[in-house]
Structure 1
Amino acid sequence: MVTSILRPTVYHPVQRISTRILGSRWARPPAILATFLVSGLMHEVIYYYFSRAYPTWEVTWFFALHGICVTVEVAVKKALGGRWRFHRLVSGPLTVAFVGITGAWLFFPQVIRYGLDQRAISEYSILVQFLCERLQY
């Protein structure tokens, strides 16, 4: 769902503008970075909505870091021309580890700091209790 929103609203327009300014060879990196940055800013808005605490920008940095890494990955793959790649059994766990480590470092601290995890668990338990009561009648 996020991809289907961000691709036409951020990625493609930035890529078109970048193509005019930088040429087609260099249009992709700004589009990738802009897409990740917008995603990070939107997550900051969501965190603000739930916590009513001013942004710490950790979440935006999480997405900026991932945007930079994806941009580098795309450039390296393009430079190598598909001649050399990690096997999925290597690249998959490396990706999960990278997301896990950076998530623990930059993404989840705000969730825990503002008690969003506890509130979500509490709300889900209320929902489960409500559904259990309704199913008994």
Structure 2
Amino acid sequence: MASQKTFFIIGVLLSFIFVVRLFFFFMTDNQEAIVYAVELLNWGSIAVMAFCYSYLFPQFKEKDERAQTIRQKGIYYAMFVMIISLIIIMLLIQYSILSLTTLAVVRILISLVLITISLSWVILAKKM
């Protein structure tokens, strides 16, 4: 059974994993730093999502119109952020400013989706 405390505990555990991996990232001489940094971004985005869900749980457990409006508007705003980030990533790769593999691009996009949707829901929940 999901609860606010459960999401918070999961967020703390994921944040711990993120911090430990970040520590090892700075302590080792990594040849493929971009791959490791993208993996760190994944752990961080999942931790952010867990903390956002912990904050939003009391408001979202009731299936009312306000919660539905927050969800719809949040995904709508996140879509625009994703389109802008896709354009930026495309330009960075096209002009050889950034050299990424397809897997790294997909991981970055997944992290951006998780972060933008979760944070837009939190922002909208505070405003509404």
**Structure 2 length-normalised TM:** 0.33
RCO comparison, higher one (Cα < 8 Å, 6+): 2
**Structure 1 length-normalised TM:** 0.32
